[in-house]
Copies of this chain bind each other. A is one copy, B any other.
Amino acid sequence: MRTVGIIGLGLIGGSMAIDLKRRGFADRVLGVEQDSVAAGAAVTIGLVDEVVPYEECIQKADIIVVAVPVNAAVKMVPDILNRFDAAASDKVVIDVCSTKSQICHATQYHPRRSQFVSTHPMAGTEYSGPWAAQPGLFDGRACIFANSEESSPKALQTIGQLYGVLNMRPIYMNADQHDVHTAYVSHISHVTSFALALTVLDKEKDEKHIFDLASGGFSSTVRLAKSSADMWVPILTQNHDNILHVMDTYIEKMKEFRDAVSTFDEARLRELIAEANRIKKILR
């Protein structure tokens, strides 16, 4: 009889709840959700067996998944480890945050650090809340295990099984290295989408034209601009240094394009586009 407790019933927490229960990893799923509307919805939709208070979740669950924004998780994970007593030596807590340095630094000297596994399941959509949860969200995607050498082999084995049930490919990585890489391939994409939405909204006062003229290209490029501030403000501030660095590179590249367009330099434009096209070989 295994009980999984999920704190934060949004897109990630909710989607985990669905598949961990359906696929038999959890006999019982408890949820913690401070927003009463979201809590009610999670029960109505059937994401969890029961919504319980925070303390009760920690007490009753064998595995606790912290699926709240990263600024809250940084404080919550050490608090949960503090509440693990001698009788709770088999319990494991995991986080699923998009930045890993701060949470790993905040826990590294905790006496129960080995009961914490820091993970980043690389899956999601631009929607949020329990109503955005969906089965199969994680299938076939990568899951980062950050600083896994600080977790106990037993905890790692349990969480390895959990992500195995979700059909994720494990990748082991240093937390700081993770934050550099995700700044480049995930965080910057969100910033460029936000900026694109702002640009278009600023200029296209006639909103009907945006809708009419938005071919597939615009919709997919701007899709991430629907992402929530609650999630992204903490990511952008926590991964501050890496994101600034990549934004500066990005602004330089935009300026190179701008200069080539402004001088009608077709050869340079052709060169820049050919170089950008190399992304084809890397992404399917």
Contact = CB atoms under 8 A, between A and B. Distances in A.
Contacts of A279: 197, 200-201, 222, 225-226
Given A184-B200, A257-B247, A273 B233 contact: yes
A88 interface: no
A218 B216 CA distance: 16
Contacts of A186: 213-215, 217-218
A272 B233 CA distance: 10
Does more than half of chain A's interface fall in helix, strand or loop, or is it mixed?
helix
A219 B283 contact: yes
Interface residues of A, number: 90
Contact of A266 (B142, B223, B237, B269): B237
Interface of A: 122-126, 141-142, 144, 169, 171, 181-182, 184-186, 188-204, 207, 209-229, 232-233, 236-237, 240, 243-244, 246-251, 253-258, 261-262, 264, 266, 269-270, 272-280, 282-283
18 contacts: A122-B212, A125-B216, A126-B217, A181-B213, A184-B203, A192-B192, A193-B276, A194-B276, A195-B253, A200-B279, A203-B249, A221-B221, A225-B277, A227-B277, A233-B266, A237-B269, A240-B261, A244-B258
